[in-house]
Structure 1
């Protein structure tokens, strides 16, 4: 079997789509060494680092720059490359499939956030692109997604039969583990000026990440423990606060009187993330909507107890290995954080459960489900 991949995100390994593509390709190569894999990349990608062995690479023109070039690559360049390769299956590992293609099409829809959240639908171009890829996804031979919650959303919003949707959960990278190098961890602590104890939020600051609720929750933490355990906000700040997508968190911090207890790190180097998780006393993840929720899984794999919202796909990831609360209940989230800060036995129990839970998610499992979907569409094509 010959599978051709859309490799648009190969040079963006720290985005969700880029990480998914890289890990999936490696998992498939380990699982099925005889599987022929081709990666079709836009011509602007000059360096293909971390490419698994025996993967053919075919550059294809994007024709234009920016978003129009991406659409051209998805709708014209990738289909032409698939026809040239004579692939048995074409896989687009993100929500950007072509309307027409010569091979059975498998599309990975990691989440339905662009449809479910109004701030992502603003603007005619966004609505046009979402309509295009929605129509193309409906024409796919099979759809892959990464959680049962996302499968339900896809079936409902795109009117795709659940039988045509397969859930293939993600996994934490093997570098996320509880036993780190003490010297390296100490260097990360010094690099970001981190205290001995802190509660960590690591991620984006878009509205659905619900960081404003976490800030409200922290007022209850401060009332109990004072300012000795700061809340560390780690991630890339937006170009501008106070928009529909990015609420004004600095103003919220000032309004809540948390200026002395909230610390911003700014962007975190990817190599530093495992140590950052390990150093944190508690990891907080208040998000309202996730395709999967890799942050809690990475934290659990790193041996850090997790407090999170019990909605969307998050309970599928954490099981009973995290303290889950309602996404609108700041008092409950504050109480959950306090429980882990003040009860060492409870924190140790949740840490142990988190390590066990995280070990159950592997990229081999992801690859197995993906390979089964390929075989299904190929056999269906032969039968048809």
Structure 2
């Protein structure tokens, strides 16, 4: 079976992490896998090394001065379409709107649903849902959204987790101490500063928390994106100044350093307003850290009672304070993370591909 997995970026966003891990697990099961991606800003590879069993095809994408977000996405679709040939594969599996619009007939994983006001982007989003001949979602909650909105019935195949990387980091006291030496005690959020990540709410929560825990700071990692969140970033900066919170913004963290950054935090905050699964929070559980997550149906589905839930900045502050004062036994969360393997996800995908092909 020759499978093409397509993603839009080489950076460590959730869908890209999913694509690489799935590709490697499929290859380990004997599937001939090629990962296709656009390579932006001179990238010569993904954010981490990829197993040699997986073939990687990168398509150069050159940013042009004056490009809007819409311009970049339209050109991204055209650039990938011109480079890709579906005739070389038995299964073409797109992981996002850009690749689904680029490749034509395909399977699509819908990680989460977006809302666009720009007509061109709204049309791209719509086509990437309705035109694929088969669909996968990584949680039942998102599959139910697709069913309610379009009358379609995606198959649910949960994410896997590279749990052992984060379990090992929980035992690496030297690496943790280096982070604590640099950052002090901190609440960690991963995913950058953008509306979907609920970052402004987290600033409000930290303002309340620091009334009781003044030595605990906020650290934000990650945030590579195609979209223009300057207005949200301005609101974030204004809120920080208003409440006196000075977060440490790390940007993209090297893949090998991320597990110890997670393992060294006091508590992992996950205030996202929209998620498909919550992989970063699952990695935090593997690292043995308490997690406080937004009270969303999808996160209730995935995490059950292994994390604490909050809905407002005040709720988040209270749950963060409780987790710092009395961290829960990490065994339950670690067991959950360890139970979700990429090998199991790959096996489910192979069965899905066989059904789809027939």
How far is the alpha carbon of 1:378 from its aligned partner?
1.6
Are 2:194 and 2:229, in contact at CA under 8 Å, matched by a contact in 1? Answer: no
How far is the alpha carbon of 1:353 from its aligned partner?
1.8
Residue equivalent to 1:37: 33
Aligned counterparts of 2:146 and 2:333: Cα–Cα separation in 1: 29
Find 1:182's aligned residue among 170, 173, 182.
Answer: 173
Are 1:4 and 1:89, in contact at CA under 8 Å, matched by a contact in 2? Answer: yes
Aligned counterparts of 2:63 and 2:201: Cα–Cα separation in 1: 41
Q: Normalising to structure 2: TM-score of the pair?
A: 0.83
Are 1:6 and 1:40, in contact at CA under 8 Å, matched by a contact in 2? Answer: yes
How far is the alpha carbon of 1:334 from its aligned partner?
1.4
> Is 1:295 paired with 2:280?
yes
Residue equivalent to 1:332: 315
Residue equivalent to 2:86: 82
5+ unaligned residues in a row in structure 1: which ranges? Answer: 116-120, 380-384
Larger radius of gyration: 1
Are 1:62 and 1:72, in contact at CA under 8 Å, matched by a contact in 2? Answer: no
Find 2:76's aligned residue among 70, 77, 80.
Answer: 70
Are 2:24 and 2:53, in contact at CA under 8 Å, matched by a contact in 1? Answer: no
How far is the alpha carbon of 1:181 from its aligned partner?
2.5
Residue equivalent to 1:321: 306
Using the TM superposition, name which of 273-282 and 37-46 deviates more.
Answer: 37-46
Find 1:172's aligned residue among 161, 173, 176.
Answer: 161
How far is the alpha carbon of 1:217 from its aligned partner?
2.2
Give the direction of change, closer, same or farther, for the CA distance of 1:338–1:21 in structure 2 (3 Å limit). Answer: same
Are 1:241 and 1:248, in contact at CA under 8 Å, matched by a contact in 2? Answer: no
Residue equivalent to 1:126: 121
Are 1:61 and 1:77, in contact at CA under 8 Å, matched by a contact in 2? Answer: no
How far is the alpha carbon of 1:77 from its aligned partner?
4.0
Find 1:233's aligned residue among 209, 213, 220.
Answer: 220
Q: Normalising to structure 1: TM-score of the pair?
A: 0.78
Aligned counterparts of 1:253 and 1:45: Cα–Cα separation in 2: 33
Aligned counterparts of 1:15 and 1:252: Cα–Cα separation in 2: 25
1:91-110 matched pairs, under 5 angstroms: 91-95=93-97, 96-98=99-101, 101=104, 105-110=106-111
Give the direction of change, closer, same or farther, for the CA distance of 1:153–1:50 in structure 2 (3 Å limit). Answer: same
For residues 175-222 of structure 1, what are the alpha-carbon distances to aligned partners after superposition, in whole Å with 9 as ceiling and x for unaligned? 2225343333333334xx211x32222222112322222222233323
Aligned counterparts of 1:231 and 1:64: Cα–Cα separation in 2: 32
Query: How many residues in Structure 1 have an aligned counterpart in Structure 2?
Result: 344
Residue equivalent to 1:382: none
Find 2:253's aligned residue among 268, 273, 279.
Answer: 268
Aligned counterparts of 1:22 and 1:156: Cα–Cα separation in 2: 30
